[in-house]
Structure 1
Amino acid sequence: MTDEPSTAKSHAARYFAELEARIVQRLHAEAGSETSRAALVRSTGVEDPQLIEELSKLGITADELICLRFIPLVLVAWAEDHADSEEREVIQAQAAKLGIREDSTAWLVLETWLQKQPPGLGIDAWKRYTHGILKKMSRNAANRLIHLTEKQMITVAKASGGHLGLGKVSHKESTMIDRLLTIMHEQAERA
């Protein structure tokens, strides 16, 4: 006697894994094209060839570039080794505020990061992206962006309530927030 629900679940899991693999393959193919790299340079103004190469390896095209803005929020969500549903909802709400639609590739990239922790390459790309963006801003605008990112990270951390209850920021989340803010301040200083 076979366990039909279990078999159906494994078929569904396999189907979605294959679908995800095809989507990732398509993203990488699109991002790796010269046209896509040129669009990244145009849309960001970033002329750092290493950053453009890393973005291409990550499958990031100009349309998905906005996702890098969410790396700090995603890392805070993953600070305790999992991104829970409340944290994901807060990040999705922030993405929707910036105009990222659920049917867009950018949403798919963000969803992937919320399901699986972003690779170190993504963090390195975020650092260089942040440096490139902050270097073009006035000191006042850079400080406002850093402050906004801090508020968003705290909102994500408070969404799950930490270990001790609603609205608390855990030690790991606080450490991650401090680390990311330090990186942003250092990038602003170098700009």
Structure 2
Amino acid sequence: MSDRDVQTEAFFHDIEDQIFSRLRNEANSPSGREELLRATGTHDTLLIDELGKLGITADGLLALRLFPLVLVAWAEADADANERESVMSHATALGIAEGTTAWILLDRWLTKRPPGLGVDAWRRYTHQMFSTMSEVARERLIDLTQKQMLEVAKASGGYLGLGKISAKENAIIHQVVESMRLPTDFR
């Protein structure tokens, strides 16, 4: 890599850090917290704190729906290009457009491993959503999430990147599905 390439990469990394810092500040501002409270329909201040630390604003909340796919992408040493493409394809199908806050969050999580706090926030938010859903709707969302995680796992495994799911990917898929099915009391 040339010096110019290194400088260019550092420049874009700095811009990304500035954008993410702005999102975190916005999410933690009084108006940002109020918007998150409205968007989530929760009174769980711990969840709002966790979302703020992750830089998740009300308009970025949709990215949290795909957080399990990000976990599968990071099951191995890094999230590779095929896994990233698979996650972003699911984002597009969900209506997340390039350049939106949700897209920026997903891109960040696929570039830098998200903190463990993300798992806690995802679980807390998911179970709060489940409390307002029918059993059929919950099962459909769990099945859809599992199918999407399997697609991300298959994106880079096996022969020519097709078909094989690693033991680590399988373990994460199993853990996510089980955590979605287990009743959780976050009081």
Q: What TM-score comes out, normalization by structure 1 length?
A: 0.91
Structure (1/2) with the larger helix percentage: 1
**Distance across 1 between alignment mates of 2:86 and 2:13:** 25
| Identity between Structure 1 and Structure 2 (%) | 51
**Distance across 2 between alignment mates of 1:165 and 1:43:** 38
Any unmatched runs of 5+ in structure 1? Answer: none
RMSD, aligned CA: 1.8
Give the C-alpha shift of residue 185 in structure 1. Answer: 0.6
**Distance across 2 between alignment mates of 1:186 and 1:114:** 27
**Distance across 2 between alignment mates of 1:17 and 1:37:** 27
- Structure 1 residues 63-86: Cα deviation after superposition (integer angstroms, max 9, x where no partner): 000111111001011111211111
Q: How many residues align?
A: 186
- Structure 1 residues 9-41: Cα deviation after superposition (integer angstroms, max 9, x where no partner): 221122112211211121111111111111111
Equivalent residue runs for 1:168-187 within 5 Å? 168-187=164-183
**Distance across 1 between alignment mates of 2:47 and 2:56:** 11
Amino acid at match of 1:11: Q
**Distance across 1 between alignment mates of 2:28 and 2:185:** 29
**Distance across 1 between alignment mates of 2:147 and 2:127:** 20
Partner of 1:159: 155
Give the C-alpha shift of residue 106 in structure 1. Answer: 1.3
Q: What TM-score comes out, normalization by structure 2 length?
A: 0.93
Compare CA radii of gyration and give the structure with the larger one: 1
**Distance across 2 between alignment mates of 1:57 and 1:43:** 17
Partner of 1:96: 92
Any unmatched runs of 5+ in structure 2? Answer: none
**Distance across 1 between alignment mates of 2:72 and 2:3:** 36
**Distance across 2 between alignment mates of 1:154 and 1:136:** 26
Q: Which runs of 4+ in 1 moved over 6 A?
A: none
